[in-house]
Amino acid sequence: MPDTPTPHNEAKAGEIAKTVLMPGDPLRAKYIAEHYLQDPVCFNRVRNMLGYTGTYGGKKVSVMGGGMGMPSVGIYTYELYHFYGVEQIIRIGSAGGIADGIHVRDLIAALGACTDSNYAAQYRLPGTFAPTADYGLLSRAVRAAEENGIHPAVGNILSSDVFYGDNPDALSQWKKMGVLAVEMEAAAFYMNAARCGKKALCLLTVSDCPFTGESLSAEERETGFTRMMEIALKLV
């Protein structure tokens, strides 16, 4: 294992658990640590990308922010997988729901992640790579949700490089292919996991619906996704 700390993570070897929950917002990581973990210790403050390790149900678990966009989550997940011995990362993020029947606060389990990003070009593959979740994590998450009366939508999402896009018809084109929602991280994160033989799952709570105008506030996105947090913690 390469030397730690890394350029973006001040944790020392052994300070991060084998399982990491990763919201985009570092303040959501702080919220989870303070409300769900026993004896949480902050292991990273570099660039204010907060990370904590504690226990949940007697098991060691870490939670760390991943930032916005594939370059950001690509850096943090790469370092966790390659430098800190992390075996599985569960992204717990927000998304814009675009499929019919998807509403704010709905839970989505991302089976696959389409993308408009060029992130996969680095692998020099002779074709188009399809980034997918780890099926074991996915099936356990769906089962845990259903045991609590929650029925997540399972399917394809879009990981986009742009938030303010110049093509007003782009989301409609993805919607016609059955894509459930749009976010900005999962495809790169799934590719990193695939490349190093580790596990990855992206769970999303719908924070807005571009076609209907439904939306949640920034505060609701930071502290209101407790159902998703609790399902992710059952996977530790």
Q: In this predicted model, what pLDDT tens digit does every residue of 171-192 receive, in sequence order? A: 999 999 999 999 999 999 999 9
Active-site annotation holder among 3, 100, 134, 208: 208
Q: Kindly report the average pLDDT of the chain as a whole number.
A: 96
Looking at residue 2, what is its pLDDT? 60
- Give the total number of structural domains in the chain: 1
What's the whole-model pTM score? 0.96
Query: What is the per-residue pLDDT across 79-133, written as a single tens digit (0 to 9) for each?
Result: 999 999 999 999 999 999 999 999 999 999 999 999 999 999 999 999 999 999 9
| Mean pLDDT to the nearest integer, 15-36 | 97
Range of the domain at 199: 19-233
Looking at residue 51, what is its pLDDT? 98
Q: Is the peptide bond before 5 cis (omega within 30 degrees of 0)?
A: yes
Is 6 part of any domain? no
Looking at residue 70, what is its pLDDT? 98
Is 226 part of any domain? yes
Identify the DSSP state of 132: B
Q: Which residues of 207-226 are buried (b: 16+ CB within 10 A; e: fewer)?
A: bbbeeeebebeeeebbebbe
Give me the CATH number covering residue 101: 3.40.50.1580
CA-based nearest residue to 163, from 94, 74, 92, 220 = 94
208 is catalytic: yes
Is 5 part of any domain? no
Confirm if 64 and 49 have CB atoms less than 8 A apart.
yes
Write the single-letter amino acid at 134.
Answer: D
